[in-house]
């Protein structure tokens, strides 16, 4: 069963939230999903139904200015009035607090993908008691490349329209991802499953251009959350599962996952990782995605 809700973000925007559940299955816990950049929460419908069938309540929103939480398609994905990552974290926290009654079994889990996982690194440091376990999918770390990206975008947003994506920054980010694979699509890096890539391209709520201002926010957030003093803010009892495709350019073909694992293991008692062969960025949407589904369920069963 899928239900739709709206919760007020500010005076202009309400967040659209979806909740999946199966009343015929005994409740085993609650999972909040944080989606990625230039996409929306109903892309996770199949995954959410799988989890609901296993006894979990699943809750996820279209983050501020994403999906149905954007009033004007021309501004889809654009956030200028707030810091981008701060707005994503606020979206997540509003959902967590609004649906607090569903998070009442001390089995409260977070699944976060891509940009959602980047925001979640900071979220978990800011609100260390909101979740007992987290699955971070297709994530990255605030290493030197983000110091460079932060510096470059600080210059480009002064020189150019800050709501636009400059060619330089695009070529360093999504453009560089695209070049790693042979398929013609500029979103080929998302998945080995070309049907999934085509669906993404044809979805009017996906693929919005990413501004230099957004990349500046992402770079700053990753640099902060990767610092030792901030990782120490994590709840030491938090259980973490880091997953990515071995062919995922966002996580540097898995290298970023290993770097984050090493950092987290110095503070957390339970950090698991898995890199999937012949999978790219969206492991949940590859043809053999059920392997990933089952690994996530196995992790949740262990928590």
Does 198 have pLDDT greater than 90?
A: yes
Task: Kindly tell me the burial class for residue 151, based on how many C-beta atoms sit within 10 Å of its own C-beta (0-12, 13-18, 19 or more).
Answer: exposed
193 and 286 in contact (C-beta within 8 Å)? yes
Q: What is the pLDDT of residues 76-93, one digit of tens each?
A: 999 999 999 999 999 999
Entry pTM: 0.97
pLDDT band at 75 (very low <50, low <70, confident <90, very high): very high
Segment 256-273 mean pLDDT? 97
CA–CA separation, 301 vs 287, rounded Å? 24
CA–CA separation, 219 vs 198, rounded Å? 29
Which of 16-25, 164-173, 185-194, 237-246 shows the lowest mean pLDDT across its residues?
A: 164-173
Q: In whole numbers, what is the pLDDT of the chain averaged over residues? A: 96
Q: What is the pLDDT of residues 26-62, one digit of tens each?
A: 999 999 999 999 999 999 999 999 999 999 999 999 9
Distances (CA, A) of 86 to 63, 157, 215, 303: 11, 18, 13, 29
66 and 76 in contact (C-beta within 8 Å)? yes
53 and 24 in contact (C-beta within 8 Å)? no
For residue 211, what pLDDT is reported?
A: 95
The fold of 2-142+227-302 is: Rossmann fold (3.40.50)
For residue 171, what pLDDT is reported?
A: 93
CA–CA separation, 96 vs 104, rounded Å? 11
Segment 158-164 mean pLDDT? 79
- 29: phi > 0 → left, psi -120 to 50 → alpha, else beta; which? left
Other beta carbons within 10 Å of 226: 18
Does 239 have pLDDT greater than 90?
A: yes
Token pair listed for 273: 């990782």
pLDDT band at 104 (very low <50, low <70, confident <90, very high): confident
pLDDT over 70 for what percent of the chain? 100
139 and 260 in contact (C-beta within 8 Å)? yes
Instruction: Determine the 3-state secondary structure of 167 from DSSP.
Output: helix
* Torsions phi, psi for 168 (to 5 deg): -60, -50
């Amino acid at each position: 069963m899928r239900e739709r809700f709206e919760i007020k973000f500010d005076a202009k925007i309400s967040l659209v939230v979806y909740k999946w559940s199966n009343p015929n299955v005994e409740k085993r816990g609650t999972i909040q999903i944080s989606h990625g950049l230039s996409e929306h929460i109903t892309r996770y419908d199949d995954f959410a139904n799988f989890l609901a069938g296993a006894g979990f309540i699943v809750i996820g929103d279209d983050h501020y200015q994403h999906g149905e939480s954007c009033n004007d398609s021309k501004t889809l994905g654009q956030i200028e009035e707030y810091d981008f990552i701060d707005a994503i974290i606020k979206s997540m926290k509003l959902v967590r607090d609004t649906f607090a009654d569903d998070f009442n079994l001390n089995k409260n889990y977070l699944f976060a993908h891509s940009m959602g996982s980047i925001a979640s690194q900071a979220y978990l440091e800011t609100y260390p008691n909101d979740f007992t376990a987290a699955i971070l999918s297709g994530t990255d770390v605030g290493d030197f490349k983000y110091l460079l990206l932060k510096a470059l975008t600080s210059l480009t947003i002064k020189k150019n329209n800050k709501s636009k994506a400059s060619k330089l920054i695009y070529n360093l980010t999504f453009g560089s991802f695209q070049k790693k694979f042979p398929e013609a699509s500029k979103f080929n890096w998302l998945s080995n499953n070309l049907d999934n890539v085509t669906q993404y391209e044809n979805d009017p709520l996906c693929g919005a251009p990413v501004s230099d201002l957004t990349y500046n926010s992402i770079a700053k957030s990753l640099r902060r959350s990767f610092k030792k003093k901030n990782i120490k803010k994590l709840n030491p009892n938090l259980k973490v599962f880091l997953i990515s495709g071995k062919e995922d350019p966002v996580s540097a073909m898995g290298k970023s996952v290993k770097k984050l694992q090493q950092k987290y293991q110095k503070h957390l008692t339970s950090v698991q990782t898995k890199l999937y062969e012949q999978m790219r960025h969206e492991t949940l949407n590859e043809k053999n995605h059920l392997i990933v589904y089952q690994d996530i369920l196995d992790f949740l069963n262990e928590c």
